[in-house]
Chain A
């Protein structure tokens, strides 16, 4: 059973398109995250939701919009894709809050914008 699953695993799309990456966790966790790992391999947090409420929103273009229909899901919508959006996007979850809790990561979604 996959704890944190994200789809699609691979996505190749053209500039200007709008795409979504879905994430689901079956761990019963209250907090979910989206991280971006670019070509330099730095893992940067983008968003964090706790019980469907946005609690962390780092400096991310407003073309990126997270949506949490329930606490087990956190989807990432990206509008007007740009070449620089090419990266691996990791979804993650933790039991509660953002301190003192282990973060469990999904396997990543590889986005390539051409």
Chain B
């Protein structure tokens, strides 16, 4: 199973873009990269996923490097409600994630 590594925590100013990196150097060619977030101890919430191409939806953008060894989740205009733990996963295995704090 592919493993992912993320920074433990990050801060972002409200209204600014939050860029959350993820390394997944062992990902296989047909494995998607998924991003979820967990606010407090609610159930994890799906954000976005991708295979090779960059993706964008109403919540975020996902930039995947050409070699697929890393990706970046972009929240274009972070709000206080985006404060959460963000998980980058491949397959179904969750790592410890990045705790994003959006500061006023």
A residues near B (Cβ < 8 Å) are: 4, 33, 35, 37, 41-45, 48, 56, 88, 90, 92, 98-100, 102-108, 110
Contact = CB atoms under 8 A, between A and B. Distances in A.
A48 B43 contact: no
A100 B30 contact: yes
Contact of A42 (B31, B41, B44, B96): B96
Q: Is the interface of A mostly helix, strand, loop or mixed?
A: strand
Contacts of B87: 43
Interface string B67-99: 000000000000000000101000111101000
Contacts of B38: 43
Given A88-B41, A108-B41, A108-B42, A103 B85 contact: no
8 contacts: A35-B94, A48-B92, A98-B91, A103-B46, A103-B92, A105-B44, A108-B42, A110-B41
Contacts of B32: 99-100
A41 B43 contact: no
A108 B43 contact: yes
Contacts of A44: 94
Given A105-B44, A107-B43, 6 more contacts: A37-B41, A42-B94, A43-B44, A98-B91, A103-B34, A108-B43
